[in-house]
């Protein structure tokens, strides 16, 4: 599959544009929707949305379909976890590595909740420029938190932004861990494990190559090559049981694994449009 012309439009991080574009493509080319996200089209901007609408054939390519399935399923699991947490009294939702995530700007956003988007300062400025260009309002309940997972303590940055660290929070961390060094991933998870009981996190991670099938290893290499061409690299991968051991050691009392089979049964059963997941990336829901 050749690179899409969409990838050459300006933006600080190609993978952030790719994620936003594939989420928007889901709104156009897949039925029924796994994730309803009309804002994902608007935030692209007029030029980029028009380009996306014109490339349906490219978006039907098996690689694009597989990537799209991964992105919308992981977002749906994270948002389902937040809805469940909020129904149990959790009122703080923290989106780590938010990129162009649109939850805070959608009509289905819970107005009584306190929302925190965490990202690098340059990424946040770029996103806010995109929002202004698309005439998308920033809700009063949203707090932008600048952080660098490789260099700063997440808990300190959240506290300075007003997070109540005596109350539980719900965290979403999607499409980030694989771009960080393992020690930065573990340090952040350890930070979250120190939050009050009832805190939860949903995150995805790249599975270590020796845990993959031969077909999955080939797919992983395709992903690595495509990212390297854009100047980005996968820096961490984990074995599922090793990761669970560390999470429990840090203090998480519940650790749930979601591989391709579990996620397919939950979100992709009986579909006829070809949305399928691979085992390259897995998800975990962990609760303090």
Task: Compute how many other C-beta atoms are within 10 angstroms of the C-beta atom of residue 213.
Answer: 11
Vertex 37: Cα angle to 36 and 39 (nearest 5): 155
Helices and strands, number each (H, E), in the chain: 11, 7
List, in sequence order, every beta strand (DSSP E) within the chain. Answer: 92-96, 114-119, 142-146, 170-173, 200-206, 254-258, 281-287
Q: Which of 25, 214, 188 is nearest to 94 (CA)?
A: 188
Say if CB 45 and CB 133 are below 8 A apart. Answer: yes
CA distance 224 to 240: 20
* pLDDT score of 10: 43
Say if CB 238 and CB 21 are below 8 A apart. Answer: no
- φ/ψ of 176, rounded to 5, equals -125, -45
* pLDDT score of 9: 40
Q: Which of 233, 263, 103, 237 is nearest to 171 (CA)?
A: 103
| Per-domain boundaries in the chain | 62-287
CA distance 89 to 247: 24
Q: What is the CA radius of gyration of the chain?
A: 18
* pLDDT score of 126: 93
* pLDDT score of 5: 39
What region does 97 belong to: left with phi over 0, alpha with psi -120 to 50, or beta? Answer: left
Q: What is the pTM of this model?
A: 0.92
Say if CB 157 and CB 145 are below 8 A apart. Answer: yes
What architecture is domain 62-287? 3-Layer(aba) Sandwich (3.40)
- pLDDT (tens, 9 = 90+) of the chain, 288 residues, equals 444 434 444 446 778 888 999 999 999 999 999 999 999 999 998 888 999 999 988 888 888 888 899 999 999 999 999 999 999 999 999 999 999 999 999 977 788 899 999 999 999 999 999 999 999 999 999 999 999 999 999 999 999 999 999 999 999 999 999 999 999 999 999 999 999 999 999 999 999 999 999 999 998 998 899 888 888 999 999 999 999 999 999 999 999 999 999 999 999 998 888 888 989 999 999 999
SS3 percent helix, strand, coil of the chain, rounded to 5, is 50, 15, 40
């Amino acid at each position: 599959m050749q690179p899409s012309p969409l990838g050459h439009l300006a933006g600080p991080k190609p993978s952030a544009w790719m994620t936003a574009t594939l989420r928007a493509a889901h709104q156009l080319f897949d039925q029924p929707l796994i994730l309803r996200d009309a804002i994902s089209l608007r935030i692209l901007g007029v030029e980029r949305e028009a380009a996306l609408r014109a490339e349906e054939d490219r978006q039907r390519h098996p690689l694009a379909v597989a990537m799209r399935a991964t992105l919308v399923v992981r977002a749906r699991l994270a948002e389902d976890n937040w809805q469940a947490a909020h129904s149990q009294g959790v009122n703080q939702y923290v989106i780590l590595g938010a990129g162009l995530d649109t939850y805070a700007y959608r009509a289905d956003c819970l107005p009584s909740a306190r929302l925190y988007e965490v990202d690098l300062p340059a990424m946040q400025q770029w996103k806010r420029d995109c929002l202004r260009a698309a005439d998308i309002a920033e809700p009063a309940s949203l707090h932008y938190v600048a952080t660098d997972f490789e260099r700063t303590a997440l808990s300190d940055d959240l506290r300075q932004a007003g997070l109540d660290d005596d109350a539980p929070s719900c965290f979403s961390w999607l499409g980030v861990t694989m771009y960080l060094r393992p020690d930065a991933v573990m340090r952040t998870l350890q930070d979250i494990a120190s939050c009050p009981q009832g805190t939860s996190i949903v995150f995805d991670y790249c599975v270590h190559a020796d845990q993959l099938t031969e077909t999955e290893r080939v797919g992983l290499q395709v992903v690595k090559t495509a990212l390297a061409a854009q100047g980005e690299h996968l820096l961490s991968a984990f074995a599922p049981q090793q990761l669970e051991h560390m999470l429990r050691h840090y203090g998480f009392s519940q650790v749930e694994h979601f591989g391709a089979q579990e996620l397919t049964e939950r979100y992709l059963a009986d579909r006829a449009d070809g949305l399928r997941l691979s085992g390259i990336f897995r998800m975990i829901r962990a609760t303090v």
